Amino acid sequence: MFDSLSDRLGGVFDRLRGRGALTEADVRTAMREVRVALLEADVALPVARKFVDDVTEKAVGQNVLRSVTPGQQVVKIVNDALVEMLGADEAELELNVAPPAIVMVVGLQGSGKTTTTAKIARRLKGRDGKKVMMASLDVNRPAAQEQLATLGGQVEVATLPIIAGQQPVDIARRALSAAKLQGFDVLMLDTAGRLHVDQALMDEMKAVADIARPQEILLVVDSLTGQDAVNVAQNFSDQVPLTGVVLTRMDGDARGGAALSMRAVTGKPIKFAGTGEKLDALEAFHPSRVAGRILGMGDVVSLVERAAESIQQEDAERMATRLAKGQFDMNDLRGQLAQMKRMGGLGALAGMMPGMKKAQAAMNAVPGSDKVLVHMDAIIGSMTVKERSKPDLINAKRKIRIAKGSGTTVQEVNRLLKMHQEMSTAMKKIKKMGGIKGMLSMLG
């Protein structure tokens, strides 16, 4: 996600941070580069312009330029502006009504609507313990209803029995009464898609919304379509009261323009991001964490949460305690690497781990492949017990020994050390910001 934007901005900020003092001209030059980077990421022009203007105004004002670390300050201002652009507050599903709460899912054909419906149902069931039913109202696409039933089987969520020939509004009525009678907490309605936005689609959607009176109307759009995704969202939003957007295929989106412009252009929050074809590849959209990933600071909080879902309680507690103290040694890193495999491999996680992308590049590993994990594990395996708990001990001579022992190169050892250092800095930062509190309570 956001790889190319992240690389571009990384370059700009490295140059800013590299200087002791900054002039207004330095900031303006940097902001011109930021603007180009945003436009290349396919961010809408007015959004990019406003972003750069806001940041410039803040950065040349106040006492930023005269501060001890002007470069850092500017990066912080950019970070805050990114969070603001992405939507500041996190947007959760609002399902606090007398059951069944209704979630209507709309979007164009092929956007990932049906898959996303099943992913959200899985999440509501697993994370929130809700009793969920899904119903497909898609009578246009052949076998759409069967597809949802199959996905329902996979995530173990009930689907409304199919009655051939029934029309969407009637299916919606039947689903509502079934959900009420059978005591479901949430009913998810997967509506029909079309290839393009057209009036017939909009009319059908409105008719269903009139009957179902949904608490949430979520629009699913494909992030790979960039500005088109934003335009589609605007079109839908003009017709039905959308409560949020789900961006799919974020796993393949190196540019990120849709994610970055969506909120500013449509005013609608992004509630989830689809990050893969598997049914667990859905993430709540946290603007601050996404901003962190874009700025190359990684997203350690998401990483730890993801880990907490897949590791033993004991490990989670141990990790939480260590993190709270700001400790993170090679043994912790090794544990993390092992978990990454279980958590769906590198593809889903690389952007969350500071330094991981660079490490992959250095090892010429195919992005998303797990070869790099095997190498890193071998490198840590070749360290002595002392070296693992005190990586500072590892000097040039030791590096050569470790590289030989693990069948890797000194360069790879250096990469791993750098990555460890970046992660441990990130952990300390989290500690300082007090951001770990929520995580700790989650980890028990």
Residue 245 CB-half CA count within 13 A: 32
Q: Under the phi-then-psi rule, with left for phi > 0, alpha for psi from -120 to 50, and beta for the rest, what region is 397?
A: alpha
CA distance 279 to 344: 11
* Residue 248 assigned as binding residue: yes
CB 124 within 8 A of CB 252: no
Integer-rounded Cα Rg, in Å, for the chain is 24
The yes or no reply on residue 115 touching ligand GDP (CB under 6 A) is yes
Residue 324's CB is within 10 A of a number of other CB atoms, namely 16
DSSP state of 389: H
Query: Which residues are CB-contacts of 203 (< 8 A; sequence separation ≥ 6)?
Result: none
CA distance 210 to 61: 51
Interacting stretch for ligand GDP, rule CB under 6 A, among 42-50, 86-94, 104-112, 411-419?
A: 104-112
CA distance 231 to 23: 39
CB 17 within 8 A of CB 267: no
Indicate the residue among 112 and 391 with the shorter CB distance to ligand GDP. Answer: 112
| Beta strands 132-136; 158-159: pairing state | parallel
Interacting stretch for ligand GDP, rule CB under 6 A, among 247-255, 303-311, 322-330, 361-369?
A: 247-255
- Among 79, 159, 243, 275, which residue interacts with ligand GDP (rule: CB under 6 A)? 275
The yes or no reply on residue 283 touching ligand GDP (CB under 6 A) is no
CB 185 within 8 A of CB 131: yes
Interacting stretch for ligand GDP, rule CB under 6 A, among 111-119, 153-161, 206-214, 354-362?
A: 111-119
Query: Which residues are CB-contacts of 271 (< 8 A; sequence separation ≥ 6)?
Result: 91, 92, 93, 218, 243, 244, 245, 246, 284, 285
The yes or no reply on residue 367 touching ligand GDP (CB under 6 A) is no
Check the CA dihedral 11-14-15-16 and report its sign. positive
What is the secondary structure of 257-271 as a DSSP string? HHHHHHHHHH-PPEE
CB of 279 to ligand GDP, least distance (A): 9
The yes or no reply on residue 113 touching ligand GDP (CB under 6 A) is yes
* Residue 190 assigned as binding residue: yes
CB of 303 to ligand GDP, least distance (A): 19
CB 340 within 8 A of CB 322: no
- Among 274, 292, 354, 391, which residue interacts with ligand GDP (rule: CB under 6 A)? 274
CB 113 within 8 A of CB 106: yes
> What's the helix, strand, coil split of the chain in %, to 5?
60, 10, 30
The yes or no reply on residue 191 touching ligand GDP (CB under 6 A) is no
CB 55 within 8 A of CB 30: no
CB of 267 to ligand GDP, least distance (A): 23
* Residue 193 assigned as binding residue: yes
Interacting stretch for ligand GDP, rule CB under 6 A, among 112-120, 173-181, 211-219, 292-300?
A: 112-120
Indicate the residue among 194 and 429 with the shorter CB distance to ligand GDP. Answer: 194
The yes or no reply on residue 58 touching ligand GDP (CB under 6 A) is no
* Residue 108 assigned as binding residue: yes
* Residue 357 assigned as binding residue: no
CB of 193 to ligand GDP, least distance (A): 5
CB of 154 to ligand GDP, least distance (A): 12
The yes or no reply on residue 136 touching ligand GDP (CB under 6 A) is no
Q: Tell me the number of residues near ligand GDP by CB under 6 A.
A: 18
| Residue with smallest beta-carbon separation from ligand GDP | 274
- Among 111, 261, 266, 382, which residue interacts with ligand GDP (rule: CB under 6 A)? 111
* Residue 111 assigned as binding residue: yes
CB of 259 to ligand GDP, least distance (A): 12
**Backbone phi and psi for residue 400, each to the nearest 5 degrees, phi listed first:** -60, -45
CB of 142 to ligand GDP, least distance (A): 12
CB of 281 to ligand GDP, least distance (A): 6
- Among 276, 292, 351, 354, which residue interacts with ligand GDP (rule: CB under 6 A)? 276
Interface map 137-176 toward ligand GDP (x if CB under 6 A): ----------------------------------------
DSSP state of 166: -
The yes or no reply on residue 251 touching ligand GDP (CB under 6 A) is yes
The yes or no reply on residue 248 touching ligand GDP (CB under 6 A) is yes
CA distance 388 to 149: 50
Indicate the residue among 135 and 297 with the shorter CB distance to ligand GDP. Answer: 135
Q: Which residues are annotated as a binding site for GTP?
A: 107-114, 190-194, 248-251
Q: Which residues are annotated as a binding site?
A: 107-114, 190-194, 248-251
Binding-site ranges for ligand GDP (CB under 6 A): 107, 109-115, 193, 248-249, 251-252, 274-277, 281
